[in-house]
Structure 1
Amino acid sequence: MTNFNVPSRGEVSANNQEIFDNLKKGLGMVPNLYAVMALSDTALGNYLAFQNAKTTFSNKEKQVINLVVSQVNECYYCQSAHTLLGTMNGLTEEQTIEIRKGNASFDSKLNALVVLAKEITTTKGFASTATIDAFVDAGYTKGQVIELVFLVAEKTAMNYVHAITKVEIDFPLAKAI
């Protein structure tokens, strides 16, 4: 059985060591899921560039997307990480649970975002016209429909890395739903 151990700073390339240093400075830690990506000389840097690409969505909206996509993809690591990050970006823990269940009754615009992000994830991109129309009618743009596809893809990639590597969750565990 292939086992994915979390590499230490000394076990990764010089480029990834620099990324580890920057992560430690910014986050106070190198999350295990980021560290395991450093087994590749290029994956971690490529992923961080993808994750940090410019978007018109707010940090709160990005956490909403991350929560619902991680729930659909059954990634408990990312559910845990984004529950913490969601609460740091204005969501309550109860709201993060509701989002993971596929709704945001507390905010109609965020609800349209949750519903479309979930549908894009569950249907592999074949979202209904009605769901897309509801998203645009809620105040989002057609351009944000396209951006949302990229954000779903970014989070799905991370969810899949955890599904394969099964690294230990190093965030407070999200409540099971």
Structure 2
Amino acid sequence: MKVQFKVPTREEVSAGNQVLFDQLKSAVGMVPNLYATIAYSDTALGNYLALQNGKTSLSKKEKEVVNLVVSQTNNCQYCLAAHTLLGKMNGLTEEQTLEIRKGSAPFDPRLDALVKFTRAVADHRGRIDDDVLAAFFAAGYTKGSMIDVVVAIADKVVMNYVHNITKIPVDFPAAPAL
């Protein structure tokens, strides 16, 4: 039996989540379907927003690089669509988003090291080769930024998995196919 998920409306979620829906709508003009979907839980949306909006040493562009790599690894069409758009809003070209999704960033050596580190961590569940980590540090990243990348990976895995399970409609322009 196939289980179907629908995107909950504001009226179908808890009072606490209704407040978060209002804040999201005010900040971004809409409540993205995936955020609404995690509001099935009375606590997950607030917890997720706290994680997503927490302080980090990564720039917005670097966070989008991580988001694109992890979403490609997990084949999450929702997150690929959203982060292609957000990547472009944070200084990446569409061609660069495609290169990142393919596993490199030849246009920027520092971002290239970030792409390769993120991909190795996501592909191998953190069991990476020393040379990947050494290249990440040689590109100017620190032990602190390494931890911040792992937290960003975990953030994106949450949403990738939720979408891959629920298959709710994507409400962003589709990401180009590789």
Normalization by structure 2: what TM-score? Answer: 0.98
Matching of residues 34-113 of structure 1 within 5 Å: 34-113=35-114
Q: Secondary structure at the match of 2:92?
A: coil
1:48 CA displacement: 0.8
Does 2:141 match 1:137?
Answer: no
Structural RMSD (CA): 0.6
> Residue 10 of structure 2 aligns with which residue?
9
Aligned-residue sequence identity (percent) comes to: 59
Cα distance in structure 2, aligned partners of 1:144 and 1:170: 31
CA distance in 2, matches of 1:76, 1:23: 21
Match for residue 155 of structure 1? 156
Aligned pair count reads 177
Q: Return the offset for 1:17.
A: 0.3
Structure 2 distance, partners of 1:112, 1:56, is 16
Shift of 1:143: 1.2
Moved over 6 A (4+): none
Give the Cα separation in 1 of the matches to 2:10 and 2:79.
22
- Contact kept? 2:82, 2:173, Cα under 8 Å: yes
Question: What letter matches 1:133 in structure 2?
Answer: A
Q: How far, CA to CA, are the matches of 2:4 and 2:42 in structure 1?
A: 18
Aligned match of 2:170: 169
How far apart, in 2, do the equivalents of 1:150 and 1:10 lie? 32
SS at 1:41 equivalent: coil
Q: Report the TM-score when normalising by structure 1.
A: 0.99
Q: Distance in 1 between matches of 2:153 and 2:171?
A: 23
Match of 1:122 in 2: 123
Q: Which runs of 5+ in 2 are unaligned?
A: none
User: After superposition, what is the alpha-carbon deviation per residue over 1:84-134, rounded to whole angstroms, capped at 9, x for unaligned?
Assistant: 000000000000000000100000000000000000000011111110010
Deviations 1:27-48 (A, max 9, x none): 1000000001001101111111
State whether residues 57 and 144 of structure 2, in contact with CA within 8 Å, keep that contact through their aligned partners in structure 1: no
CA distance in 1, matches of 2:52, 2:151: 9
Q: How far apart, in 1, do the equivalents of 2:144 and 2:41 lie? A: 33
- What is the distance in 2 between the residues matched to 1:60 and 1:90? 7
Task: Give structure 1 stretches of 5+ with no counterpart.
Answer: none
